[in-house]
Structure 1
Amino acid sequence: MSGKFLVNLTSGLDNTDKATVAFVVANAAVASDKEVVVFLSTEAVRLSQLGVADAVHEEGFAPLKELMTNFAAAGGRMFVCSPCFKKRALDENALVPGAAVVGGAKLVEFMTTSECPSVSY
């Protein structure tokens, strides 16, 4: 890999346009040989659950489920904010491929072990 890249996503079903664009960018980064993490926090943590993104399809883009599946298949990872996840009483046994519930220290470790550009949605 030639570096790291972080996509910070705070929106889920409350703003499917932002969620979709975030995964478009994440797919572009992973296709550019970057080690990519999408950090899901606040409402975006809901996207970590199987089936939640299935019906999301913004005009002009691939369906969100497809974007997320392709991202994980290409080696992209999703860090799911542990406190946000717990606050919403989500199911750790129903995580989408590539997702892991993590604490803030894991995100900090990813971002500080080498240069890590980021974008936020």
Structure 2
Amino acid sequence: MTRSLVIKVTAGAEAPERTNQAFTVAAAAVASGVTVSLWLTGEAAWFSVPGKAEEFPALPHAAPIPDLLQVILSAGRVTLCTQCAARRGLTEDDLIEGVRIAGAPAFVEEITRDGVQALVY
């Protein structure tokens, strides 16, 4: 059975440690061969826009968010919440290459598959 992990990130710059933890866990899972799906919701939606991850404050003893995001995009899936995108006026044309927009039905489908673990940050 393939190991899969779905991570939903709800925080952004207002909660830097929690945000960085989510990206760190996702990147570590990708590096371990786990199938990863990272969902960007709430203030984390901004990480789907080019250049926004680079604005995130560096944390001591933590890998930078832009580096982690590149690892995740290299072998995982990154999804921006449909409602979160709409509230911020974002369309697929505004996003980093490889990020898709999808809604709650897609999230529910992913987290209810056999063998999937889900985390929310």
- Corresponding position: 1:67 with 2:68: yes
Cα distance, 1:94 vs structure 2: 2.5
Q: Distance in 2 between matches of 1:88 and 1:8?
A: 18
Q: Provide Cα deviations, 1:83-121, integer angstroms capped at 9, x if missing partner.
A: 111011124213124311101111112122322112221
Percent of aligned pairs with the same amino acid: 30
Please tell me the root mean square deviation across aligned C-alpha atoms, in Å.
1.6
Match of 1:113 in 2: 113
The amino acid across from 1:64 in the alignment is I
Where structure 1 has 5 or more consecutive residues not aligned to the other structure, the ranges are none
Cα distance, 1:46 vs structure 2: 1.1
Q: Provide Cα deviations, 1:70-95, integer angstroms capped at 9, x if missing partner.
A: 2111x111111101110111242131
Runs of 4 or more above 4 Å deviation:
none
How many pairs are equivalent?
120
TM-score normalized by structure 2? 0.89
The answer to whether the 8 Å contact 1:4/1:114 transfers is no
Q: Distance in 2 between matches of 1:114 and 1:95?
A: 30
- For the structure 1 residues 98 and 16, does the alpha-carbon distance in structure 2 shift closer, same or farther, using more than 3 Å as the test? farther
Cα distance, 1:19 vs structure 2: 1.6
Q: Distance in 2 between matches of 1:91 and 1:60?
A: 34
SS at match of 2:37: strand
Match of 1:27 in 2: 27
Where structure 2 has 5 or more consecutive residues not aligned to the other structure, the ranges are none
